[in-house]
Amino acid sequence: MKLALTIAGSDSGGGAGIQADLKTFSAHGVYGMSVITSITAQNTMGVLGIEDISPDMVYLQMKTIFEDLYPDAVKIGMVSNEDIIKMVAKGLKDYNVKNIVLDPVMISKSGSYLLKPEAVEALKEELIPLSLVVTPNLMEAGELIGREIKSVYDMKEAAKRILDFGAKTVVVKGGHLTGDALDVFFDGKEFYEITSERIDTKNTHGTGCTFSSAIAANIALGYDLVESIKRAKSYITGAIKHSLAIGHGVGPTNHFWNIEIRKV
């Protein structure tokens, strides 16, 4: 049994964050574990509140995992403030953690800030250099490099800049462009354009969390990074295609679309 850890915030609505990550790990046949950094009160319509976990408790959760259930891959999502970011970085260094997938979660689909603006620099200085791959969407990549991203050319330039922050590789997700859903992967030497059909649905809550945790799951299973990204792209496309029209707002993706559910 392969193991994967998610370090992220809790989504009470179940579509993103820790809940989406654990579902994604399970859908890939990987044993999932969690370090909760924040608790959010949210549903398909928006985020009503956020309460951060103390940095010491974040570290204690990491300690319990790394000293007993050492993961084959780690996904990092919502780390909302500078103190938590620094504590997560300390834990990763203390336990010599590799295979880190960093999803720089900043703003929810409903417009709520999940990363305090003053913590962006800490994310760039503390966590990006530890990451095997960073997976920003267009808005997040724009925040990291300080300018808006409107084209594939801009995506490639952003990937170069983010690599300069110390990441080993970068995937800039182009889901907010038009046409096919195109992501740009850059390994420092070569660009890869990974495309899939664009699904016409509003139910895309948690897509970024799900994609990054799918990459981590595939790395844990032993696939190389490029193959892990391609497999994650295929998985998230299916999850969006079979997304769930539940709630009154932006519904979640279907994390178990690839598994036959036995109905009793």
Tell me which of 24, 32, 75, 209 is the catalytic residue.
209
Tell me which of 13, 17, 174, 208 is the catalytic residue.
208
Element (DSSP H or E) covering residue 150:
none
Catalytic: 93?
no
Tell me which of 75, 109, 173, 230 is the catalytic residue.
173
Angle between helices 55-66 and 82-94 (to 10 degrees): 20
Catalytic: 173?
yes
Tell me which of 6, 207, 237, 253 is the catalytic residue.
207
Cα(193)–Cα(33) distance, rounded to whole angstroms?
31
Tell me which of 6, 37, 204, 237 is the catalytic residue.
204
The CB density around residue 77, as the number of other CB atoms within 10 Å, is 27
Tell me which of 13, 32, 206, 251 is the catalytic residue.
206
What are the φ/ψ torsions at residue 163 (nearest 5 degrees)? -65, -35
Catalytic: 2?
no
In order of 39, 171, 235, 260, the CA distances from 51 in angstroms are 5, 29, 31, 36
Report yes or no: 36 and 18 within 8 Å, Cβ to Cβ.
yes
User: Residue 237: exposed, middle, or buried by beta-carbon count in 10 A (0-12, 13-18, 19+)?
Assistant: buried
Catalytic: 207?
yes
Catalytic residue set = 173, 204, 206-209
